[in-house]
Amino acid sequence: MKRGRVNITSKCQGFSSTEGRIKRQKPGPLGSSLAQRPAEDWGSLPHHVVLHIFQYLSLVDRARASSVCRRWNEVFHIPDLWRRFEFELNQPATSYLKSTHPDLIQQIIKRHAQHLQYVSFKVDSCTESAEAACNILSQLVNCTIKTLGLISTARPSFMDVSQSHFVSALTVVFVNSKSLSSIKIDDTPVDDPSLKVLVANNSDTLKLLKMSSCPHVSPAGILCVADQCHGLRELALNYHLLSDELLLALSSEKHVHLEHLRIDVVSETPGQTHFHTIKRSSWEALIRHSPKVNIVMYFFLEEEEFEPFFREETPVTHLYFGRAVSKEMLGRIGLNCPRLVELVVCANGLEPLDEELIRIAERCKNLTAIGLGECEVTCSGFVEFVKMCGGRLTQLSIMEEVLIPDNSYNMEQIHSEVSKHLGRMWFPDMMPTW
Amino acid sequence: MVVNSVHWFRKGLRLHDNPALQEALDGADTVRCVYVLDPWFAGSANVGFNRWRFLLESLEDLDNSLRRLNSRLFVVRGQPTDVFPRLFKEWNVTRLTFEYDSEPYGKERDSAIIKMARNFGVETRVRNSHTLYKLERIIELNNNSPPLSFKRFQALIQRLELPKRPLQTVTVEQMDSCPTPVAANHDELYSVPSLEELGFKTTDQGQAVWKGGETEALQRLHRHVSKEWVGNYWKPHINVCTLMASPSGLSPYLRFGCLSCRTLYYRLRELYMKAYQHTPPPLTLFTQLLWREFFYTAATHNPAFDRMTGNPICMQIPWDKNPEALAKWAEGRTGFPWIDAIMTQLRQEGWIHHLARHAVACFLTRGDLWISWESGMKVFEEMLLDADWSVNAGSWMWLSCSSFFQQFFHCYCPVGFARRIDPSGHYIRKYIPKLKDYPDRYIHEPWKAPESVQRGCNCVVGVDYPMPMVNHAETSRLNIERMKQVYQQFSHYKGLSLLEVVPVIREQTESSVPKSSMSHPSCNDGMVSSLCLSLSHRKRERPIDLHCSQGCSQPKMQCVGLDRDSNRPLQQ
């Protein structure tokens, strides 16, 4: 499919050959004035103009443009163009994606490390890629990095890097940047001591910390962060790190309002983990301190492991059940989650969830989004549910198989009935039945 | 002038409802029905044993039906571009007819043949009968771009008139007026090859569960349509029986054209109207046919439809490359009995129920293994009888949430889902006989059975049957994050996807400075360019040329789809 390709490069090359001359200009007012002043040409555009144009180009195109003339090359290296960079580290054997060229990486480290402010690393499932990321990190010494993201795009390859290698690379950035505000280190072998280093150097500026599934961190480690980083507005972690003390620390007077708390609940040994409970009073303290906080919980448990949850009022706002969740649990959620905004259920079972849904509609007055996967709801029950909260639902994503036709409604009727109550056209989500 | 017709069978392997064949017969003096077969492909092409067997059985069936009409089928070995010039000369051909093939590769091949025929003074007549409608009509109706949501597609179909009525089958009288000159050595030159001739060993292959051919197709049609009216056609109760090959299943026959989709359509319509006092049937009666039509329509103008890179409608997802894991999946050695049973049924019989397809596709891609859908598509292409290019690629993109605006939150658990459909493990026991002694409690997760139970069943996990190749809770957790990462880059997906709570601190995601792509024309840019620009949060900053230059052959097609797809409010 080659239609419509516009080759910027050829245009640039065209310009390079006109450096110092005018070419293909029709005689006209502009042409003639340019002819009279041959020094004014593309190569001598003011830097800020070229900079502005360069900001629209992809890196590859910019790199090509930079070899056109000296001025353009200077512009290419203006710090403004190097504030934000995403290092992509992939191996052909493990990924379809290309990798940032090693020469470019070298150039950045040499000339632009000090300009980098918003940096991310995307690595594939190969350990080599994660190691390469760590090597780059270790060299970012004279930096003022504000945002750092370590993102594994497939399997978490950072976990395969030796822990000491990873931690020492990470602490280079922690120590040198001193103004980190946003850090994403999910699925990495970060540990308590590195968090201490982070806190020691960036406690005034840290606003966002995402560290889900970091098995080497303990509750004490994260508590240290909460205690010292009073500007922390967003935190993502696993349930085993959550404690009453943590919630209280986040609610202390000195602490700003927390805006977003994401908690992943995953069992270490499936079927055998027992989860601790968080006291209701701790939750209440958090809500008193930060009334608008989003509390997002993702559950990946087996049905028996849910026992400790939602026995009392829990201020969760966004719930995702990545595996089957029992009817009873959904009943409890209706009872105890008054702040619920979004509920997404991957699977339940073969008993209709009518009652549970209706109770959720009744008691979760803030509910605006719901998604149901492999569940069953009778059409009448569903219509009842929509009647009660349709007006406030912006997302209603129900798999087609969920709805069970009954005496009152069949599949044709259900979509018009629901559309009526929602105030817009609605259909269930479909999967190809071919 | 003498009219010597040749009808070229490719799909459409039938005599009923075959407008192109009718054109061949129309006022002709002689007619010959031809199928071009390149035997060298048998070894190399990605087509497995069951598909070849089905095809050869269909050709035999055609040959038999033609015999009854005093004609024969001519199976010509070679490639069309080589074969036809020879035949045109030898048989003094003046007219060539064939059924329209909407797939990009097919269109290219056919236009070359038409050109070549013209050079030989051969008139070509092409007729549409593989799909219910002329796909161009549907595309035209949608502002010249194929609809990318099924809802939108259904809405368009509602506005169309009914599909063309199926034509009658070819009669003896028709054939009598334009006989087929059959030489004495016909069987030597033009007979249907056997599987052995194509290099397959048939000794340990059992009886085909799905027998190829028009005769079988029509018998099944009769069975299919008579049982549809018992109970609800739109909500068959899903149980383990639905997973088994049905004696009235029709999808492979529709794919090869042994059964006309229009014949099926009208038969369903007729019976519905008889049963429900002449009320016209709702579109849902034809859901399966419409899915098929939907994918053909989406693919017809997109030669890159079966790929991720360079495909303007496909999300560029950073899938993992892992040949070992792929092989385990393809060969049914994942350690999850449900997945393994499905892949075994697929390999042995060539057909699996659509729910089974969802389960294995999800497992391979966004659920567990995070491997590209293209790999899965190729495996299906080899083994699945009804997998043709458009439908197979389209389904895989859909099931891996790579296109068509799918919600990605629901993940099929290889244990939980299996338990709900097959609580007594009947399906597992049939296709994985090694596990047949396992009690119901453990049949879907044998690794959980205590060692004593495992030894008692003569099947120890890790020795006689593989350990589960992944920890499903862990992989589904990882993968949902991966999907979110991919989708969160597109701000206009907000409002289309659940799980979209965007972090407050936006420094890394959105920016007021135009985001430049990084080390290479990022795949993301390719996707952004082909998705609706006007829905982007960012101001329209990039000149439109640059967007098109990212390989987008159909700018803004999703734009139209999204705008009109009013079941999702645009959260802007």
pLDDT 10s digits, A288-320: 999 999 999 999 988 888 889 999 999 999 999
Measuring CA to CA, which residue among B410, B414, B425, B445 is closest to residue B239? Answer: B425
Which tokens go with B402? Answer: 């790579």
3-class state of residue A95 by DSSP:
strand
Q: Which residues pair with B371 in a beta bridge?
A: B320
Place of tokens 């979509």: A415
What value does the mean pLDDT take over residues A260-266? 94
- ipTM comes to 0.85
Residues in CB range of A206: below 8 A, 6 or more apart: A180, A181, A183, A198, A199, A225, A229, A231, A232
Residues of chain A found within 8 Å of residue B287, distances taken between Cβ atoms: 433
For residue A369, the cross-strand partners are A342, A395
B429 annotated as ligand-binding: no
Query: How far is residue B15's CA from residue A43's CA, in Å, rounded to a whole number?
Result: 71
The pLDDT assigned to B551 comes to: 31
pLDDT value, residue A37 = 57
The residue whose two tokens read 């800020």 is A48
**Which residue from B303, B318, B416 is facing A1, i.e. has the nearest CB?**
B303
d(CA B272, CA A197): 73
Cβ <8 Å between A324 and B416:
yes
Q: Which residues of B touch A7 (CB under 8 A)?
A: 549
Q: Report the candidate in A144, A141, A191 with the shortest Cα–Cα distance to residue A167.
A: A191
Q: B505, A397: Cβ pair inside 8 Å?
A: no
Whether residue B495 and residue A122 make contact (CB cut-off 8 A), yes or no, is no
8 Å CB contact between B473 and A299: no
CB atoms B474 and A85 under 8 Å: no
Q: Which of B261, B259, B266, B265 is nearest to B15 (CA)?
A: B259
Q: Is B295 known as a binding-site position? A: yes
At residue B204's C-alpha, the angle toward residues B200 and B210, to 5°, is: 80
Chain A hits for B498, Cβ within 8 Å? 320, 342, 344, 369, 371, 395, 397
- So what's the pLDDT on residue B528? 26
Residue A39 pLDDT: 57
Q: Which two tokens stand for residue A140?
A: 């970012």
Which residues 6+ apart lie within 8 Å of B310 measured at CB? A1, B304, B526, B551
The tokens describing B501, both together, are 């709570």
Q: Stretch A170-185: mean pLDDT, rounded?
A: 93
Under the banding of pLDDT at 50, 70 and 90, the label for residue A19 is very low
Region of B122 (left: φ > 0; alpha: ψ -120 to 50; beta: rest) is: beta
pLDDT at position B26: 93
Q: How many residues are recorded in chain A?
A: 434
pLDDT classification of A271: cutoffs 50, 70, 90: low
Instruction: Name the pLDDT band for A349 (thresholds 50, 70, 90).
Output: confident
Minimum distance, in Å, between the CA of residue B359 and any CA atom of chain A: 12
A124 close to A153: Cβ distance less than 8 angstroms: yes
- pLDDT recorded at residue A65: 87
Within 8 A of A107 by CB-CB distance, chain B residues are: none
Contact check, Cβ <8 Å, B501/A432: no
The CA distance from B9 to B21, in Å, is 9
B404 is in an annotated binding site: no
Contact between B318 and A124 using a beta-carbon 8 Å cutoff: yes
Report the alpha-carbon distance of residue A113 to residue A77 in Å, rounded: 12
Chain B residues closer than 8 Å to A399 by CB: 410
pTM of the predicted protein model: 0.86
- Compare CB distances from A88 to B287, B515, B518 and report the shortest one's residue: B518
> Are the Cβ atoms of B508 and A182 closer than 8 angstroms?
yes
A402, closest residue in chain B (CA to CA): B235
CA A206 from chain centre, in angstroms, equals 17
Residue B135 marked as a ligand binder: no
A234-238 vs A342-347, strand pairing mode = unpaired
Burial string for B411-423 (b: 16+ CB within 10 Å, else e) reads: bbbbbbbbbbbbe
Which residues fall within 8 angstroms of residue B17, CB to CB, at 6 or more apart? B129, B166, B167, B168, B169, B260, B262, B263
CB contact under 8 A, A208 and B567: no
Cβ-Cβ contacts under 8 Å, B546 against chain A: 6, 8, 56
Phi, psi angle pair for B58, to nearest 5°? -65, -40
Rounded to the nearest 5 degrees, what angle is found at the Cα of B506, between the Cα atoms of A62 and B318?
60
Q: Is B333 among the annotated ligand-binding positions?
A: no
CA distances from A154 to A54, A127, A363, B41 (A): 32, 11, 39, 36
Tens-digit pLDDT profile for chain B (572 aa)? 899 999 999 999 999 999 999 999 999 999 999 999 976 665 556 788 999 999 999 999 999 999 999 999 999 999 999 999 999 999 999 999 999 999 999 999 999 999 999 999 999 999 999 999 999 999 999 999 999 889 899 999 999 999 999 999 999 999 999 989 888 889 888 999 998 888 888 877 778 899 999 999 999 998 887 655 544 555 556 778 888 988 888 999 999 999 999 999 999 998 888 888 888 888 888 999 999 999 999 999 999 999 999 999 999 999 999 999 999 999 999 999 999 999 999 999 999 999 999 999 999 999 999 999 999 999 999 999 999 899 999 999 999 999 877 788 888 999 989 998 899 999 999 999 999 999 999 999 999 999 999 999 999 999 999 999 999 988 999 999 999 888 877 655 444 456 665 444 444 333 333 333 222 222 222 232 233 322 222 333 333 222 222 333 332 223 222 323 333 332 32
> How many Cβ contacts (< 8 angstroms) between chains A and B?
250
Helix B214-227 to helix B261-275 angle (10° resolution) is 20
Rounded to a whole number of angstroms, the distance between the first and last alpha carbons of chain A is 29
Share of chain A above pLDDT 90, in %: 59
DSSP, collapsed to helix, strand or coil, labels residue B238 as coil
Sort out which chain B residues have CB atoms less than 8 A from A99's CB and list them.
519
Q: Is B294 part of any known ligand binding site?
A: yes
B174 assigned to a ligand binding site:
no
Q: Are B476 and A300 within 8 A, CB to CB?
A: yes
d(Cα A210, Cα A186) in Å, to the nearest integer? 6
CA distance A150 to A182: 11
Q: Which of B237, B461, B445, B438 is nearest to B338 (CA)?
A: B445
CB A83 within 8 A of CB A77: no
Q: Choose among B242, B246, B251, B328: nearest CA to B287.
A: B251
Rounded CA separation A427/B51 (Å): 36
Closest in A60, A97, A395 to B523, CB measured: A97
C-alpha separations of A138 from A109, A124, A166 in Å:
10, 19, 9
CA distance B419 to B440: 9
d(CA A260, CA A235): 6
Residue closest to A427 by CA, chosen among B237, B158, B565: B565
B387 marked ligand binding residue = yes
What whole-number distance in Å separates Cα of residue B342 and Cα of residue B337? 8
B272 is in an annotated binding site: no
Q: Which two tokens stand for residue A65?
A: 């443009």
How confident is the model over A85-112, as pLDDT tens digits? 999 999 999 998 889 989 889 989 998 9
Residue B7, φ and ψ in degrees, nearest 5: -105, 125
pLDDT confidence tier of residue A121, bands split at 50, 70 and 90: very high
Q: Across residues A57-76, what is the average pLDDT?
A: 86
- Res B552: pLDDT: 31
Asked if B473 and A1 come within 8 Å (Cβ–Cβ), the reply is no
Closest approach of chain B CAs to the CA of A46, in angstroms? 20
Surface-to-core class of residue B92, CB atoms within 10 Å of its CB (0-12 exposed, 13-18 middle, 19+ buried)? exposed
Beta bridge partners of B30: B4
Q: Which residue of A has its CA nearest to B365?
A: A154
Q: B519 and A3 in contact by Cβ < 8 A?
A: no
B182 touches B71 (CB < 8 A): yes
Q: How many CB atoms lie within 10 A of CB A137?
A: 22
The shortest C-alpha distance from B70 to chain A (Å) reads 37
Contact B492/B532 with Cβ under 8 angstroms?
yes
